[in-house]
Amino acid sequence: MSTTALLGEAIEAVIMASRVARAVQADLDAVREITKDDRSPVTVADFAVQAIVAMELQRQFRSPLIVGEEHAGALRKDDQKEVRMAVVKAVQSELPSVSEDEVLDAIDACDHDGSADAYWTLDPVDGTKGFLRGQQYAIALAHIEKGEVTLGVMGCPNLPSDHSRPLDVADSIGTAYAATKGCGAWEYDTSNPNGDTRPITAPTYENGSPIRTCESVEKSHSKHDDTARILEHLGVQSDPVRLDSQCKYAVVARNQADAYLRLPTRADYREKIWDHAAGMLIATEAGAVVSDITGRALDFTHGQRLEENRGVICAAADLHPQIIEAIDALGIAAATAG
């Protein structure tokens, strides 16, 4: 099947899942009351989104191979009945006729190991804490063929469609992004996926200008001190925007940041493919450059993890080599070599 046909189905699945995730996030307290667990809303959203995307792909494609983050084993246990019922109810808001068993089976169908020549990879709710704070999170779906990401779709239900609005505030409309290899990247409103699409273009960087950076909110996800050292080495100032999830790729792709830095916090950590595949393609198709901290392209040929990469740098094309040079000069890559 052509990439164009795959893209249309991927967009439809992600938009449907975005509606479900948005509804769960809008009713956090009610979900917590039912399940008696403060973190249960994001659990419900994770499982419901994975089920919906899997069922939509199964509806269109014969036995699609999907690398997913969630498994329904724990959800099937008796002590998880309330969470399970909340998941089924969330899925049924979009697919009224599906049964509990169909929902659980769809979740468990996302068990591929990333070894096939072609498969999908899904992060159902990327940005757990952002979701719980009522801020940024993403639903990220990508198609990988022979180790190359050929298609990426990302739903960002809270990312402002108005680029002049603050990035850390939830939006009532939200945005979605799509890209196919060699065909550019574009943005559209989550509430109107059939409306006009907007091509997006990553920034160009003028030497000596302040660098607009974005990085993870959680210090455990990226070494913030090293980001400050890099900027000091480059002799520029920056006030980093911190937000959760692959939304950061979109922020660079749509020219609201010059760079997204995800610097390793320990030598043995390897990034998971579902955390980067969709966002990486959207950013590169918009004109940004994405690599690991040594300047090496992200390598999706090793299953579920980026085994040959450390960290991620996404930046404007003319800024990217300067950041890599700074990382090398400061010994950051050597210090985190495994």
Which residues are tagged catalytic? Answer: 46, 128
Region of 16 (left: φ > 0; alpha: ψ -120 to 50; beta: rest) is: alpha
The gap between the terminal CA atoms of the chain, to the nearest Å, is: 40
Within 8 A by CB and 6+ apart from 148, the residues are: 181, 300
Q: Are 80 and 64 in contact (CB under 8 A)?
A: no
Which tokens sit at 22?
């948005």
- Closest to 38 (Cα-Cα) out of 50, 48, 29, 26: 29
Question: What's the one-letter identity of residue 136?
Answer: Q
CA dist., res. 16 & res. 94, Å (int): 7
The 3-state DSSP class for residue 191 equals: coil
Q: Which helix (H) or strand (E) holds 89?
A: helix 81-92
